[in-house]
A and B are shown apart, each in its own frame.
Chain A
């Protein structure tokens, strides 16, 4: 299997550890994973700002020869999937890949802390990694399946209010949405909040930090990494 790791540009700049851990997770499963050095951005920030961009085409050129492209971000994955490109069907969000292709289950079953899962909109509504409450389909959640054990979810599966350009244009509304998401997640009794999108988590972290909430927030790759290799000191 020829697999490429997609390193979302904002993860590369703001939390490169997520990329490193994703790579080590994939290698742990015996996969031969390459990291194309010339990758930059999938184009999402421009598309969402209403600016013309040819970055998705560039993305296609860089990744088209791989069988799978795995990304620790559902929003980049859904950006590429919504384009008509050769790579569109080959790109997977990390948990989706673990669930659908590698059939991984219960990997974080013995995780020492109670996990609260933030189902990001791109994960459940764009990629259908779980059943959104709006649809009349049976309940399922791939991310929970991959993690295993007792995972708690927010009562409302609504948006956390990040929305990229939205968080910069409508700061206050973005904040109140994030605030209610945090309250919802904290009220589940979870000790660590996780999710597949670092962007939502970064937004929630920013609020928690400013408001002085005592809650741990970690990207899903960190939880999976720790479950496999133990916590790094």
Chain B
């Protein structure tokens, strides 16, 4: 043969799946929730989403350029961060705060760690935590259940108790229906349980996530809230729990990789949500529960190393 042959170690074939496929699957899975957000929050949603996505992608490109790296914005990971960041802020957030938040998500949440795959915390949640500390008023100006400015369900619950929440909806059945469909106040992307579940189903079907973390996470919140005398169904359908459980606590980069680890992550995050909602200063705890568990992930990975085939026990 006259041609120069390529020589490299085995294996010589690989799956057709690439990082791009993985990321774009997540984007596709987020689409129903994007549509729901636009349906419920109209122009506010379009504004926050577009500012956030554009800022995320542009800041990633700039950061990669400054770091002397190849520009890889096409892998879709910055778009995901842009969408997720928009999803965890109020639809009324001024455009310039949105921009700062999305930029912080990418720069401080991801690029300073070295870019995709190296970050310890969920970038979108870093952006959210940053804004909550810097512009607390803007970050908690919600559109309420009645479409006018007002607190979220969890906010009302924290301030005035469950009976006041029920008053807002009329009865329990109406409350569940509204929560499930999504025409209630809250962050952009967390309101429609239905839309989020459709996306989650897609990710499960494509095997980009497993059931372990979401089921244990949501289950833990449900059971503990029930034990503590709360309305468990309302608790799991409000706040960002469904969004967080399926789209953030399953983020490959910042969460454990074994099934056992994923279960522990869900359990820990669930306990933290209940703790923060019942005892903490904030009405809602999903973001902090995931960020805190992100920090524990390396430890979980260390302690959930699989037992090797034919091994008696871990020797590490």
A binds B: no
